[in-house]
A and B are shown apart, each in its own frame.
Chain A
């Protein structure tokens, strides 16, 4: 069964802290997406990874294909980073279809 598991479910941090959100996925998933959803807002794609590491500003995403594991890191966290972060896997044979994790609700306190 194709699955994506995310942890933690909820995360509270102080401003400035380094944050890590983890995602494990099953065989059959060929690429991993990290998405961001602000309260009351739409969903924005942050990264799409099939190997290695990507960086955008204070956000870093890594993927380990052998271990089927991906992480999203936020350096120097800020209250505006407060959002739900969702990882989603693309199925190898059907690139459009996504399998979603349940999301991690991040709250960064000033």
Chain B
């Protein structure tokens, strides 16, 4: 089954404690992206990757890092989380070609206290 898998689904952490949210897709997609979703603001792009070792900033990259060492994985790293990073996070993937569907993970609800 084609899917994007994010872990964990829920996470409560303390300010400053480094964390990683994993994302994996099994469709051999070249394009992967991370978004955060906040009430009233909708979905905003954090980082995206067009292929292995190719990443770029989205609209709200501050406080986040990513890496793309393998095609299937695209982890989101928060080196020093702060309360304003409390949000619902989604990973997504697509082939990156014209007129193709995007696939989303189930989401990770992060709370930073």
Known A45-B101, A48-B99, A100-B42: A95·B106 in contact at CB below 8 Å:
no
Decide yes or no whether A42 CB sits under 8 A from chain B: yes
Decide yes or no whether B96 CB sits under 8 A from chain A: yes
Q: Which residue of A lies closest to B44 (CB)?
A: A100
Q: A31 touches which one: B50, B99, B104 (CB < 8 A)?
A: B99
Decide yes or no whether B84 CB sits under 8 A from chain A: no
> Do A97 and B48 touch (CB < 8 A)?
yes
Q: Is the interface of A mostly helix, strand, loop or mixed?
A: strand
Decide yes or no whether A44 CB sits under 8 A from chain B: yes
For A, the interface residue count at a CB cutoff of 8 angstroms equals 22
CB distance from B95 to the nearest CB of A (A): 8
Q: Which of B73-110 contact A (CB under 8 A)?
A: 90, 92, 94, 96-107
CB distance from B63 to the nearest CB of A (A): 20
Known A42-B107, A43-B107: A102·B42 in contact at CB below 8 Å:
yes
Known A86-B42, A96-B31, A97-B48: A41·B99 in contact at CB below 8 Å:
no
Decide yes or no whether A50 CB sits under 8 A from chain B: yes
Which residues of B are at the interface with A, using a C-beta cutoff of 8 A? 30-31, 33, 35, 40-45, 48, 50, 90, 92, 94, 96-107
